Structure 1
């Protein structure tokens, strides 16, 4: 007898398949790779750590080559990977390539958070995972030596210069973390200095700019993915977590950082939302400094998926410049 084919409960193609036994088969995303004691291309070191046992949250932490930086405290970057809330990983090849390049260029200690994924985990809990990770990282600012401390953070991290950033869904999570950081304090009184959002995953029911309207709108990927993964979202696609100008969305003036960089790609279906975000932040009364970078002729996540190209290298340099300022 051959093995019995598992029954499919639902599908979110081309990303994943959910089976009736509750298991999920991911059809998309790059392969995972191990960390490296010294990346041959950049000299960056990386290792995998556990942030929290319950819930289980892990991370990949990165350290630039220290020969030119002995005894120097480095800015701390907390990074959140993309993948539409439901695929990709902090341990994947493309995210590791991105982090090695960025850490080498910007000379920061970086922690790329491996949050749990939907649909196995409800979407609001992904945000909680990332907030938990940020609090744990901020707790390294105090001199107390707890059990679960990461030596690279305590030794090299400058907690006066903490940045957060992410791409796609990770940029959406970054925005939501900033909103929370505007209301809640972090351990040790740590403040987020700056944040970057690359090709942020925002959407809404009403079309803006060049977005299509009408019945076809509900077939577009940003809508389909959100609706599939979070069907019970209050307000649906206008939930404040995904629509920052939705009817229930709080004022962007509360964003909890003092510098913000929004990066969009000309051909990306999410482009106009990123531009709207930049403008909405500027007009909100927020007291910080916000800048917009647009890359022409490129599509969504080009700097991650096509990391060898000149434009990819340029945007990495631009992000590094933001972290070095």
Structure 2
């Protein structure tokens, strides 16, 4: 069968339209009261048309505390999360991201809503951004029992890794321009190893970088190429970063990540934009892109989770 497009080690497209994804982990089922991880998880439907769903993760400790004291009013922050994967692989239901949250929530007692958005190229961009906005709106409606019982709607965060961090930024910008249901506001944004690009390249960005090749293929047909605001938050076409619809932002980078300079560039852009919130930069030395997702059991991953927890809980 003839290959019509290929990004090495990531994806192949064949002449008949078949798409072969070369990365991504298998799906795993949610588990209530998992005794191994002490995390409960369940899947919910956000929308049937278009098809949008999510996996919720909740520390068992929170549930047991409330069972012991029925009068408790203890609520925990809500993190609406968007997984990475270059917009065309990985999933909220994948083993990789499921295990990631099982480890992360052992450090941070929060409620996670991991949105399952539609992937490209079967569903072209900007559909993923719209799906994730609908996911955040669904959270704000307080429709799910876990959210209503355990979630603190005064502490709602958005976050993501890689392409998911890109989405989190764009969602935070939209939250600055468009109201969410029930008066819910986004308190903070967790931007981890963000997938941003631009026509003006950094020296560290190789000509044949997978990130550039992916965007050339995935970008909306009516977009602005490498200066499309979706991928370049500092382009002349992008809204001013002072319009971020949250009060604090944590930008995370890794020393060995080829996208590191883009993360620092974004941090500096937010810092100098006139935005009235608080922005912080956190870097882990000696690590590569999304190392904390690929192996959440390392000491450096634990260090990163503790920083996430401090950002969300304080």
TM-score range, shorter chain: over 0.9
Deviates more, 1:262-271 or 1:17-26: 17-26
- In the alignment, the residues of structure 1 paired with residue 76 and residue 151 of structure 2 have an alpha-carbon distance, to the nearest angstrom, of 5
Change (3 A) 1:274 1:233: farther
Deviates more, 1:80-89 or 1:230-239: 230-239
Conservation of the 8 A alpha-carbon contact between 2:125 and 2:220: no
Return the match for 2:75 from 73, 76, 85.
73
- In the alignment, the residues of structure 2 paired with residue 168 and residue 68 of structure 1 have an alpha-carbon distance, to the nearest angstrom, of 34
Conservation of the 8 A alpha-carbon contact between 2:78 and 2:157: yes
Deviation of the 1:231 alpha carbon = 6.1
Deviation of the 1:38 alpha carbon = 2.6
- In the alignment, the residues of structure 2 paired with residue 307 and residue 259 of structure 1 have an alpha-carbon distance, to the nearest angstrom, of 25
Matches within 5 A, 1:234-245: 234-245=223-234
**2:161 maps to 1:167:** yes
- Could you say which residue in structure 1 is the equivalent of 2:96? 94
Return the match for 1:135 from 129, 133, 137.
137
**2:299 maps to 1:310:** yes
- In the alignment, the residues of structure 1 paired with residue 245 and residue 34 of structure 2 have an alpha-carbon distance, to the nearest angstrom, of 34
**2:162 maps to 1:181:** no
Report the 3-state secondary structure (helix = DSSP H, G, I; strand = E; otherwise coil) of the residue aligned with 2:42: strand
Matches within 5 A, 1:1-325: 6-65=1-60, 66=62, 67-68=64-65, 71=72, 72-140=74-142, 149-208=143-202, 210-212=203-205, 217=207, 219-230=208-219, 232-325=221-314
Root mean square deviation, CA, Å = 1.5
Deviation of the 1:132 alpha carbon = 0.7
- List runs of 5+ in structure 1 lacking aligned partners: 1-5, 141-148
Q: Deviations over 1:84-133 (max 9, x none)?
A: 00101111112111112222322111100010100011110100000011
Deviation of the 1:167 alpha carbon = 0.2
Conservation of the 8 A alpha-carbon contact between 1:199 and 1:265: yes
Conservation of the 8 A alpha-carbon contact between 1:39 and 1:100: no
Change (3 A) 1:160 1:231: closer
Deviation of the 1:260 alpha carbon = 0.6
What's the TM-score, normalizing by structure 1?
A: 0.90
Report the 3-state secondary structure (helix = DSSP H, G, I; strand = E; otherwise coil) of the residue aligned with 2:178: coil
- In the alignment, the residues of structure 1 paired with residue 18 and residue 138 of structure 2 have an alpha-carbon distance, to the nearest angstrom, of 30
Conservation of the 8 A alpha-carbon contact between 2:194 and 2:259: yes
Report the 3-state secondary structure (helix = DSSP H, G, I; strand = E; otherwise coil) of the residue aligned with 2:43: strand
